[in-house]
Amino acid sequence: MLAEKLFGSKPSPESTVSWPKFSKDGASGFSFWAWLDGILGLLQEHLKPLWKDGLIMGFVSRKQERKLLKGKRTGTFLIRFSESILGGVTCTWVEHPESGPPAFRAVVPYTAAELASLALPDIIRDYQLLVEENIPENPLQFLYPDTPRDEAFGPHYSQRQEGTLTEQKRYLNRRLIRVSSRGHCHPWLGVP
């Protein structure tokens, strides 16, 4: 994917990168270097343990992503770096409707700003998609190729603060979750 990003769809092993191509703004509005530096910063600050444990596929294009997920069961997802959002990471999953081709759904990429307040494993654990009759469900079930979500990310989940018994009686428990509505979710249209 990195070679394709620099050299196009058919990179040659002998290709070299000119300084302007590496350091100047590209078609996406930022240079290859700025894009890569954004990812490296995101990894260093927020994703290092997940990367070390092999939970982030990372440098995968949208086209490669579709090929990988196409034959997998509904709810299989992978995590990759956004090609169009500087320093962004996204989750994409596959759904197999009763008829027709598979649908690929992706969440708007998370950046360092979002991940500073909520860790990616917790986002994945608590993510909700509103389905029929506004019933929330988590579509992220199996990390590619087929590892159950909680088995893969469980060691990285934050411990929830339970509080003292007195505090529990005075307050209702709460947690911050991410919710998407299927009504606004278009399969694979304009996904970063």
94: in domain: yes
Asked, for residue 142, whether it belongs to a domain, the answer is yes
pTM for this structure?
0.76
- Does residue 12 form part of some domain? no
Q: What is the pLDDT of residue 96?
A: 93
Residue 16 in domain: no
Total tally of structural domains belonging to the chain:
1
Tens-binned pLDDT, residue by residue, of the chain (192 aa):
555 655 566 666 776 666 666 666 666 677 778 888 999 999 999 999 999 999 999 889 888 999 999 999 999 999 999 988 899 999 999 999 988 899 999 999 999 999 999 999 999 999 988 777 778 889 999 999 999 999 999 999 997 655 555 555 665 555 565 666 665 444 444 444
CATH number, position 176: 3.30.505.10
Nearest Cα to Cα of residue 49 among 142, 144, 126, 157: 157
Residue 37 lies in a domain: yes
Tens digit of each residue's pLDDT (9 = 90 or more) over 101-122: 999 999 999 999 999 999 999 9
Enclosing domain of residue 126? 28-184
Give me the half-sphere count of Cα atoms (radius 13 Å) on the Cβ side of residue 55: 25
**Would you state the pLDDT for residue 131?**
72
Other beta carbons within 10 Å of 12? 9
Q: What is the pLDDT of residues 90-104, one digit of tens each?
A: 999 999 998 889 999
